[in-house]
Every structure is written in C-alpha cells, then in structure tokens.
Amino acid sequence: MEEMELPCCGMTPVQRLKELPHVYGTDFDLFRCVRCGRMWVAVFVTAASAVGWEPVSDLDADKMMSLNESELRTFMKQWAKAFD
C-alpha cells in the first residue's frame, strides 16, 4: 500500500482507486485515504512537475469509477475546468 501526504490526515496509507484520463495537460488519479475514507483526486501538472490534491465528492468519485472511457474523458474535462 502506498503512503502519501494528504490534506485530511497527513502522511497516511492511500488506496489508488483509478487512473483517470489526462486532460488539459494534467494527469489525474483517484485515491482514498485509508485512515478516514475521504476521496481525493491527485492532480499532476506534467509541465510543471507539480502535485496537488483536490477533494472529490462521493457522487463524483462514483461517476469516475463507473463511466466508460469516452464518458469519463468528457466528465473529467468538465470536472477539471478549474485547472485549465
């Protein structure tokens, strides 16, 4: 199990739930904090080698887990507009 520094619980074990599509030059992965169960999207800006964490609602996390690839890409483009 991986350990990462999360905003909710600091350095803690995480569960990588899904690699999400790259959009707007940014890589996204869906994680769950093992300690508190909160869902986070890791935001990797590839051009700047920067990493950040964005909270994700249970509803959005469920969509990210269940949508097929083309629907997920469309959803992520909308979800990630704040990072464009």
> Cα(21)–Cα(18) distance, rounded to whole angstroms?
10
Q: Token pair for residue 81?
A: 């507009």
Per the CB < 8 A criterion, the answer to whether 62 and 32 are in contact is no
Taking residues 3-16, report their average pLDDT.
Answer: 96
Angle between helices 58-66 and 69-79 (to 10 degrees): 150
> What is the pLDDT averaged over residues 7-30?
93
User: What are the pLDDT digits (tens) for 19-67?
Assistant: 999 888 888 999 999 999 999 999 988 666 667 899 999 999 999 999 9
Dist. CA 18–CA 71, nearest whole Å = 15
